[in-house]
Amino acid sequence: MPQSKIAGTGFYVPQNAVSNNDLTKYMDTSDEWIQERTGIKERRYAHRTNETTTTMAVEASKIAIERAGITPQDIDFIVFATLSPDYYFPGCGVLLQRAMQMKEIGALDIRNQCSGFVYALSVADQFIKTGMYKNILVVGSEKHSFGLDFSTRGRNVSVIFGDGAGAVVLQPTTKEGQGILSTHLHSDGESAEILAMYNPGTHANHWLPQKLADFDEAEIGEMFFSHDMIDKAQVFPNMDGPAVFKKAVVKFPEVIMEALTANNLTPADITVLIPHQANLRIAEFVQKKLGLSNEQVYNNIQKYGNTTAASVPIALCEAWEAGKIKEGDLVCLAAFGSGFTWASALVRW
Ligand code: UT7
């Protein structure tokens, strides 16, 4: 049975860099607070009208495909992870297929937020292993800037997120020990609402946090969006940051150790850990807990903020471009986020 190898990586971030100080024009926040709590110095925002989740994905994909030594017409399956699609439906997979003039291949959209890319990689890995596909494009792309609450009310969320895209091409390899060694996927929906965007949605109001759920029953089911939803911030991402933080620092090390144990490896064997870029403090906690050196962990949240499904492939590509990942190296990808969902992948480059 073939293993899947990452044959090419690419990433794209918009030109527009937005500093922490820039955000103070819209909300009560400060460079000091943001850097101290998250490590973020700046993030990129896509052009309001000319750039979308799909157009950014196209740019990242072009690079990954070229580096894999193939053309868009060679791609035989797309797996696209995003929480900020161009349309509520259809998903971005078909838009990418159209934009890149690919053949009439399968296109699958993944909705697993921060873990989306690792989930997508795992799905693609299964198709390669069974021999069904030979060139799979796996993408994570996000345009968060279109839908954040930039008032002080939404500051705990809006200062964190940024826009960007990352992509890889998966191909089969028969080289002994090379490629994706294993992937590990998890979920726990018990606290689904504490990091969520509720609308548009078909949810029952009783699941929403009390402060946001105070609704006129007659309105429910009658409309997709209402002024009331906007007034109550139900159309923006909502997050109980400290609760997410507490869970993340447990699940990140757990799912990384699960991957290592499954392959009879230890943290010392990791060449580079690419954690989802949620918060520099979380990544530092994970590093310490696993006893990893600075060289063993790659972070770039300082420049791009949290780009959700795009953060792992962007960081992976940047680390590779910086020469930090070479043939034979052991790369660990790990993510945790909304759902909750969390996941890891261990790759022998
Ligand atoms: O990628 C998806 C997964 N997401 C995560 O993993 C995020 C996990 N959580 C976090 O990263 C952190 O919880 C945050 C960065 C979101 C927040 O940091 P925190 O240290 O947990 O702060 P907090 O939410 O406990 O808020 C502390 C204070 C509050 O004020 P009071 O009540 O102490 O007066 C907040 O209102 O900081 C205030 N605050 C802010 N102040 C300035 C919240 N956001 C901001 C802000 N600027 N942007």
pLDDT tens digits, one per residue of 194-228: 999 988 888 766 566 655 555 554 454 445 567 77
C-alpha pair distances (Å), 120 with each of 14, 130, 267, 273: 23, 16, 24, 18
Active site residue 332: no
The predicted pLDDT at position 201 comes to 83
The predicted pLDDT at position 202 comes to 80
Q: How far, in Å, is the centroid of ligand 1 from the Cα of 128?
A: 41
Regarding whether 29 and 162 lie in a shared domain, the answer is yes
Q: How do 77-81 and 106-110 pair as beta strands?
A: parallel
Listed as ranges, residues in the chain with pLDDT below 70 are 204-225
Regarding whether 25 and 167 lie in a shared domain, the answer is yes
Regarding whether 140 and 29 lie in a shared domain, the answer is yes
Q: How far, in Å, is the centroid of ligand 1 from the Cα of 242?
A: 7
Regarding whether 291 and 147 lie in a shared domain, the answer is no
| Domains identified in the chain, total number | 3
The predicted pLDDT at position 224 comes to 59
Q: How far, in Å, is the centroid of ligand 1 from the Cα of 33?
A: 9
Please name which of 165, 109, 115 lies closest in space to residue 140, comparing C-alpha atoms.
Answer: 165
Q: Which residues line ligand 1 (CB under 6 A)?
A: 29, 33-34, 37-38, 114, 155-156, 159, 241-242, 244-245, 248, 278-279, 282, 306, 337
What pTM value is reported for the model?
0.95
Regarding whether 147 and 18 lie in a shared domain, the answer is yes
CA-to-CA distance for 308 and 140, rounded, in angstroms?
Answer: 8
Please name which of 188, 109, 184 lies closest in space to residue 343, comparing C-alpha atoms.
Answer: 184
The predicted pLDDT at position 216 comes to 52
The predicted pLDDT at position 234 comes to 77
Instruction: Judge contact between 305 and 246, C-beta under 8 A.
Output: no
Regarding whether 165 and 44 lie in a shared domain, the answer is yes
Query: 266 by DSSP, 3-state: which?
Result: coil
Instruction: Judge contact between 4 and 124, C-beta under 8 A.
Output: yes
The predicted pLDDT at position 211 comes to 55
Regarding whether 226 and 296 lie in a shared domain, the answer is no
Q: How do 330-337 and 341-348 pair as beta strands?
A: antiparallel
Indicate which residue of 20, 92, 112, 114 is catalytic. 114
Q: How do 42-44 and 17-19 pair as beta strands?
A: antiparallel
Regarding whether 203 and 154 lie in a shared domain, the answer is no
Which two three-digit tokens encode residue 255?
């799912």
Regarding whether 340 and 213 lie in a shared domain, the answer is no
Find the domain containing 74 and state its range. Answer: 3-173
The predicted pLDDT at position 239 comes to 94
The predicted pLDDT at position 1 comes to 84
Ligand 1 atom closest to the Cα of residue 248 is 6
Angle formed by the axes of helices 53-67 and 92-99, nearest 10°: 60
Q: Write out the E strands in the chain.
A: 3-12, 17-19, 42-44, 77-81, 106-110, 136-142, 164-173, 179-187, 195-196, 238-239, 272-275, 330-337, 341-348
Cβ neighbours around 17 below 10 Å, total: 15
The predicted pLDDT at position 204 comes to 64
Nearest CA to ligand 1 atom 47: 29
The predicted pLDDT at position 228 comes to 74
CATH of the domain at 111: 3.40.47.10
Q: How many residues can be counted in the chain?
A: 349
